[in-house]
Each structure stands twice: as structure tokens, then as C-alpha cells.
Homo-oligomer: A and B are copies of this chain.
Amino acid sequence: MNTGTDHIIKSYDSELARLTGEIVRMGELSVTQLEAAIDVLERRDERAAQRVVGNDDAIDQLEQEIGHDVVRLLALRAPMASDLRNVYAALRIASDIERIGDYAANVAKRSIPLSMVAPVAPVGGLHQLATLAAGEVREVLAAYRDRDAERAYQVWKDDVVLDEAYTGYFRQLLTYMMEDPRNITPCTHLLFMAKNIERIGDHATNIAENVWFQVTGEPLDKQRSKRDLTSSPETTKLGE
């Protein structure tokens, strides 16, 4: 029984490292998709938008593979507490990244009907939201790669900046809609696109919570109530 143990443990650790690398790569792919989605919107390039939509399949495929890898990894040895945290974090983070990819693809998809209507709508605000969201996702992927709980916590806290930018943009779109009924249809697309990007930020904070839990063994919520009581006003925002 004893001879194979070292080999199994080594292979477990290297499998876990490989898994982390896969997840980070999957995350980078999802950020690239978001940036491409905004790019095709600004260039009003329908064919490129369809490519972005099609690329989402690759992210979905990666998530499926990661799920199966995780289950296989668990079969390599009877898991201990810290293993379970690693494995559980990997599964959840992959699932959040998959959804980030979905939202990015949806932004690209909506740019197609948007390019057919008059270009009156303010697209610049969307670019700003996407830059903030892409920054969050990149930061939290780095925190995951380095198992850096503090860096993850910063992302978690800073998501409020994206939320505020989103609320401002949302209000701006409403004024355009009220000014001229012809703006309603394009602005409705932009509303949903903005919402998708705001949701990407939420998934970055989910990932941050999972990194925090993986590293510290404590849920982030508890820490937050100890460390920062001001960051969660219980207001119902318009575009929430």
C-alpha cells in the first residue's frame, strides 16, 4: 500500500497546478471576449461580432473539461480539508468564468441589431464599463493564480466603482429614451449590454470570495462586516 503514495501525492499536486493554470487561461479568454465585444460594437462589425459569439463555445467546453478534471482529481486521493477547499474553489471559479464568457458573448450578439439602427445612442459609457469590468477580472485571476487573498479582497471592494458607473450610465440612457422615442430601441439594447457588464463585475466578486475562502478557510462576508461597514448601503438601485 505504501509504495505508490508519494507518486500519487506528487501527481495530485501537479494535477492541481495544471488545473489552476487551465482556469486562469479560461479566465483570460473570457476577458479577451469582453474586450472584443466592445471593439466590434464600436467598429459596427457584424461578422466579427458573430465570431465573438461563436468563440463562447470554447469557454463552455473548457468549463466542462475542468469539471471533469476536478472530479478525476478527487479520485486521486481521499481529500483532506484544504484539498476540498481547492477543488471546490476551482469548480466555482470555472463556473463564474463561464458566465463571464456568456455575458461577453451576449454583448457582442446585441451589437448586431444595434448596428442596424441609427447611431444616436451613447456607446462611450459602455466602453468605460467594459474597461472597469475587464480590469476586475484580470486582477481577480491574478489573485487566484497567486493565492493572494488580500488582492482578491481589493477586487471585491472595488466592484462598487463599476456599480456606480453602471447606475450613472443607466440613468443617462433613460434620459435619451425620454428625449426621443426613436432612441428607445437602441437604448434598450445598451441597457441590457450595460447590465451584462455589471454582472461580469459581480462574477469577479464571486471569484474573489472563492479565492478568499480557499486561502483563509473563512467566508469573505464575515471579514467584510468586521472590516468595512460602509460599503453596502441597502438601497434599491434603479438598474440593479
Contacts and interface: CB of A to CB of B under 8 A. Distances in A.
Interface of A: 67-68, 71-72, 74-75, 78-79, 84, 87-88, 91-92, 95, 106, 109-110, 112-113, 174, 177-178, 181, 184-185, 188, 191-192, 195, 236, 238-240
Contact of A184 (B79, B84, B87, B178): B178
A109 B236 contact: yes
A195 B88 CA distance: 30
A27 to B, nearest CB: 18
Given A74-B75, A174-B184, A174-B185, A84 B112 contact: no
Given A109-B240, A177-B181, A178-B184, 18 more contacts: A67-B91, A71-B79, A71-B88, A74-B74, A74-B75, A74-B79, A112-B236, A174-B184, A174-B185, A174-B188, A177-B177, A177-B184, A178-B181, A181-B181, A184-B184, A185-B238, A191-B191, A192-B239
Instruction: Report the copy number of this chain in the oligomer.
Output: 2
